[in-house]
Amino acid sequence: MLMPELRIYTRDDIAPLVNKRSGEVKAGERMGWLTSPDNWADVLRNQPQQFVVLGIPEDIGVRANGGIGGAHTAWPSFLKSFLNLQANAFFRPETILLLGAFHFENLMDAHTDDPEMLRQQCAQIDEAVFPVIATIVAAGKIPVVIGGGHNNAFPLIKGCSRALNRMIHAVNLDAHADYRSREGRHSGNGFRYAKAENFLKRYSMLGLHEAYNNQHMIDEIQKNEDLSAIWWEDIFLRTQVSWADAVQQALSFVSSAPFGVELDVDCIENVLSSAMTPVGISPQQAMTYLYACGKHPNSVYLHLPEGVVQRRDGQMQPLTGKLLSYLVQAFLKGKWEAMANGI
């Protein structure tokens, strides 16, 4: 079941990225990987690790939405940082399997800026990604996915829904609802497509920015009982709700059933992305959200899209990968705590 776009990592792929040091054990030395890539789906089911890390380094969906390319650069930076965390009493890499990453060079090398062509390519990415996610979830594992654009929310939701044979919910910490019209696939309408195709039931949006979501989406949120939004301005400008209470409200809307956990890093202040913002939330607030999501037994995947190390216009931020590593740690710590408590 090896898909041509999916590259399964081996020990030889991982070893050069791990900076070994006497007297220390790095996470990359303790994580699991697959030894039989050709029948990885069968092998995965028998692996002891609960979490499966997967990269989707592409920026096609972002550019199809009129954004600035570069989202494909976050995965290598994240991987280097994540593999070199300390394996110790606080971090448990033995619970993690590093599966690999998609390689969409055949699409990326087209170098097209035509929106219609990019949207067709984005739909091709959907078709490649969702069966892999479905396989991971059907094996009883929790995917931890590093993007790529937020377009990949759609194949993640679809894959989970197919594996669980039911519609799922999603919670998304984001400045943007990503609920634009179905005008062809891109990073701004993944949740709309998932809802329309009956893979997504309830959708909880946390931290939306009022002036960065169009009126059509606002109308949809107000009239559809399956949609819930907590606005950034209500939390931080009008102080109608505290951050901790806002997180719990967002989770209470979805946590009674299996739900996906989404965090678009463009909601974090000054993090390099296509739609980076000077006004948003802090990395610490993002981590408390992910920790809370991880503690819920019904959270079925983690998706961190839109991060950029080198943007197409030349802007650079070498710390993006390390930030993503911290965010993943927060989610995992919530999951480990819940598991330790038998939740």
Q: What is the DSSP string of 312-343?
A: TTS-B-TTHHHHHHHHHHHHHHHHHHHHHTT-
Residue 198 gets the label, from left (phi > 0), alpha (psi -120 to 50) or beta, of: left
CB 39 within 8 A of CB 95: no
CB 86 within 8 A of CB 294: no
Q: Would you call 121 helix, strand, or coil by DSSP?
A: helix
Q: Would you call 208 helix, strand, or coil by DSSP?
A: strand
CB 135 within 8 A of CB 240: no
pLDDT of residue 343: 75
d(CA 49, CA 132): 17
pLDDT of residue 4: 67
Pairing of strands 227-231, 200-208: parallel
Low-confidence ranges of the chain (pLDDT < 50): 1
> What is the edge-to-edge ordering of all strands in the sheet holding 51-56?
6-8, 96-102, 51-56, 142-147, 299-304, 259-263, 168-173, 200-208, 227-231
pLDDT of residue 1: 45
Superfamily of domain 6-340, CATH level 4? Ureohydrolase domain (3.40.800.10)
d(CA 27, CA 301): 21
pLDDT of residue 39: 86
For the segment 239-280, what is each residue's pLDDT rounded down to a tens digit?
999 999 999 999 999 999 999 999 999 999 999 999 999 999
pLDDT of residue 3: 59
Q: pTM of the prediction?
A: 0.97
Task: Kindly list the domain boundaries of the chain, sorted by start residue.
Answer: 6-340
> Residue 227: enclosing H or E segment and its boundaries?
strand 227-231
Using alpha carbons only, what angle is made at residue 302 by residues 334 and 163, rounded to the nearest 5 degrees?
115
Of 159, 224, 211, residue with least CA distance to 6: 159
pLDDT of residue 196: 98
Of 101, 78, 73, residue with least CA distance to 308: 73
Residues 6+ apart with CB under 8 A from 25: 86, 87, 88
Residues 6+ apart with CB under 8 A from 98: 9, 14, 28, 31, 32, 33, 53, 83
pLDDT of residue 37: 77
pLDDT of residue 91: 97
- State yes or no: cis peptide before 148, omega within 30 of 0: yes
